[in-house]
Every structure is written in C-alpha cells, then in structure tokens.
C-alpha cells in the first residue's frame, strides 16, 4: 500500500484485558491486510509507556484516557500533546481489598459501594493503617478510589495517601502486605480472588460514569505526519473490536491472552466457570459503546483532576478546548 507514510509500527501496551483488540488485530492478520508491519511492545508501567510514546520510541500506544488531558495541561511534566481517535475500553475497573481486611471489617458481598466505603473509612478514622493503590495518578482508577471513599467521607477521600503500582504488580504487592487494596482493570482482580488473596468489593461502574478508560493514543505530531497510517491502524483494530464482540467461540482469544501472560490462572469452561464467563463478557462488551472518543469523557476527566489534585483551576471554555484537542477525527 503505497499511500502509507510508515509501515513498520511499534505499538506499546500494558498487560490488561483491554489491550485485547490490538493483540487480536495482529493475531488475525488485520494489520498485515492493511500493509502494516506491527511490533507489539510490552511496557513495564504506565509511566514508561507514556514517556516512550511522547518521545517517539513508540508510534502508538494502549493508553490511559486521562493521560491525554494531563499532557495537554502539562500535568505529566512532559507537555507533549497526545490525541486519540479510538476508545479501547470504557469504565470496567474494580476495587479489591485483601481478604484479611475484607473479613476484619465485616464487609459482605451484599454491601453496595457506599457500604463498603463506609466500613473502610471508619477503620481509617480509627487510625487503622490502610494502604490503597491505583495504577497511575491520571487514571479513572485513581478517581474511582477517591470517589468511592468520598461516598463515606470527602475529607478522607481528599487526604488519604495512595500508592501507584503497575497493574501486573498489584496482586503481588497485596500478597507481600505492601498494600491492603487496589483499583485496577481485569484480569488482576480475578487473579487475586482465585489465588485467595483479594476480594472484589466494588465495581467502578457503580461509582463513576461510563467514561473512556483506555484509548489508542498517538502524539499530535505523529498523527499529523502519518494520517493514512493512523487511519489504517485504527480500522484494523476496529475490525478486531467488532469480531471480538460477535465471536461465539473464545478459545483462541483465551489462548492468546495466556500466551501473552495476561491470564496467568486456571480458568475455563470446567474450572472457575463463573469467572471464565465473566471475563469473556467483559471482552465482548469493550466495544459495546461507540469506539469514537467523546468530548464529555475528557471534560469529566479534567474536572476530576481539578477536584482531586486541586493545584490547577480552569474555566469551562478552556476545559472544552483541551477536551477537543484530545480527540482526533479520522477521515474515513
């Protein structure tokens, strides 16, 4: 395909369920069909992924949605504008606590998000040391934890010191008593439960709006220089998203996730069956909503930054402008 500005592309990702459409597009040959030679690059943390994308070591990346307005605001200390034309997943994170803490606080499966928050806030107010972790400062996971705690007490939510850890290290950190709970995307909550270490206590869907969580991000400069390549990339991943939505037999997808070391636990149609179907259901619905980025999502993310970080203030017109600058429209 002669109209592609670049054919050898490095795509960065973090091992989470919601990079599945990128992996599937490569596995199914959709990138090849578009004339693209893709190298998938597993990154160790969201910080390293963001830096390598910003400085051109990666062409494209599976990225936290909140990284885009953070870059526009210079909150990431880099200030290199990032943009997206494709949402990879919407709000599907979970909050998990150590099983030890779960039982100590008498939390039950019947507790709603506010009730579980009240129990943990009460423990914090009684000086019980509780260390909670999220994946990155600018992420729906960070805001979800704060909003969850705020259901019980706004001051505790504002003042609690949270830890940042890459998703694949959450379960290990909990197992080693470095943290007592976390907010992360799947499959790490399920892994914690199946190892008997953690217990899911709340879903982000019960706490925050249905906003974009992960997006396919590029720098604004890269997008400007490679419009045809970017379009071809996006269309290949959209094709994968559609196929994952319609697929009946997930055996090959499941094996791919095992091969990429994203699923590291025994789970099948005969072992941990409920979890097996739950994970399939999450994958199937990543593309349920429109994969087009929405202005309202970025406005909400910026408002969360203002609410919880508190060091910046913006008027509505500026919030609108920054949100618009995060979204790239493709000419199909």
Residue 76 burial class via C-beta count within 10 angstroms: exposed 0-12, middle 13-18, buried 19 and up: buried
In the predicted model, what is the mean pLDDT of residues 203-212? 95
In the predicted model, what is the mean pLDDT of residues 143-170? 96
Q: DSSP letter string over 160-205?
A: ---EE--GGGHHHHHHTTS-SEEEEETTHHHHHHHTTSEEEEEEGG
Q: In the block, which residue shows the tokens 């220089």?
A: 225
Give how far Cα 212 sits from Cα of 102, 242, 293, Å: 29, 17, 7
- Which residues, in sequence order, are CB contacts of 163 under 8 Å at separation 6+? 131, 132, 133, 134, 173, 178, 179
Contact at 8 Å (CB) between 251 and 105?
Answer: no
| 240 alpha carbon, distance to own chain's centre | 18
Q: What is the CATH number of domain 8-90+212-326?
A: 3.40.190.10
CATH topology for 93-206? D-Maltodextrin-Binding Protein; domain 2 (3.40.190)
Quick one: which of 164, 141, 168 has its CA closest to 15?
Answer: 168
The full set of domain ranges for the chain reads 8-90+212-326, 93-206
Strand pairing category for 8-13 and 37-42? parallel
Output the CA torsion sign for 32, 36, 37, 40.
negative
Q: What percent of the chain has pLDDT over 70?
A: 96
Question: Given this chain, do its domains 8-90+212-326 and 93-206 carry the same CATH topology?
Answer: yes
The pTM (predicted TM-score) of the whole model is: 0.93
pLDDT higher than threshold 70 for residue 237: yes
Q: What is the overall mean pLDDT for the chain?
A: 92
Residue 289: what pLDDT?
Answer: 61
pLDDT higher than threshold 50 for residue 332: no
In the predicted model, what is the mean pLDDT of residues 278-292? 80
Quick one: which of 72, 82, 83, 67 has its CA closest to 328?
Answer: 83
Q: Please provide residue 34's backbone torsions phi and psi, each rounded to the nearest 5 degrees.
A: -85, 0
Q: Is 63 helix (H, G, I), strand (E, B) or coil?
A: strand
Predicted confidence (pLDDT) per residue in 75-104, tens digit:
666 678 999 999 999 999 999 999 999 999
Q: Is 84 helix (H, G, I), strand (E, B) or coil?
A: strand
Contact at 8 Å (CB) between 13 and 38?
Answer: no
Quick one: which of 167, 92, 99 has its CA closest to 133?
Answer: 167
């Amino acid at each position: 395909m002669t109209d592609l500005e670049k054919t050898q592309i490095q795509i960065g990702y973090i091992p989470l369920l919601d990079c599945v459409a990128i992996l599937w597009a490569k596995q199914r040959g959709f990138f090849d069909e578009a004339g693209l030679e893709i190298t998938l690059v597993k990154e160790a943390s969201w910080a390293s992924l963001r830096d390598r994308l910003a400085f051109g070591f990666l062409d494209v990346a599976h990225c936290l949605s909140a990284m885009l307005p953070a870059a526009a605001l210079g909150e990431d200390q880099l200030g290199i504008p990032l943009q997206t034309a494709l949402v990879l997943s919407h709000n599907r994170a979970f909050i998990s606590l150590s099983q030890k803490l779960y039982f100590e606080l008498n939390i039950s499966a019947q507790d709603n998000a506010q009730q579980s928050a009240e129990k943990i806030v009460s423990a914090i107010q009684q000086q019980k040391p509780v260390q909670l972790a999220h994946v990155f400062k600018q992420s729906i996971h960070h805001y979800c934890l704060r909003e969850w705690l705020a259901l019980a007490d706004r001051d505790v939510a504002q003042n609690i010191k949270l830890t940042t850890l890459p998703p694949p290290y959450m379960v290990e950190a909990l197992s080693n008593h470095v943290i007592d709970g976390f907010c992360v995307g799947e499959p790490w909550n399920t892994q914690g439960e199946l190892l008997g270490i953690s217990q899911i206590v709340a879903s982000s869907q019960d706490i925050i709006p249905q906003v974009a969580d992960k997006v396919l991000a590029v720098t604004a400069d890269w997008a400007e220089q490679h419009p045809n390549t970017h379009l071809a990339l996006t269309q290949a991943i959209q094709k994968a998203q559609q196929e994952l939505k319609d697929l009946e037999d997930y055996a090959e997808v499941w094996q791919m996730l095992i091969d990429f070391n994203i699923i590291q636990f025994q789970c099948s149609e005969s072992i941990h069956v409920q979890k097996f179907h739950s994970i399939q259901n999450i994958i199937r619905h990543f593309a349920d909503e429109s994969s087009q980025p929405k202005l309202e999502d970025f406005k909400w993310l910026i408002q969360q930054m203002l609410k919880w970080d508190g060091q910046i203030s913006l008027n509505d017109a500026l919030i609108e402008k920054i949100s618009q600058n995060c979204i790239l429209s493709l000419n199909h």
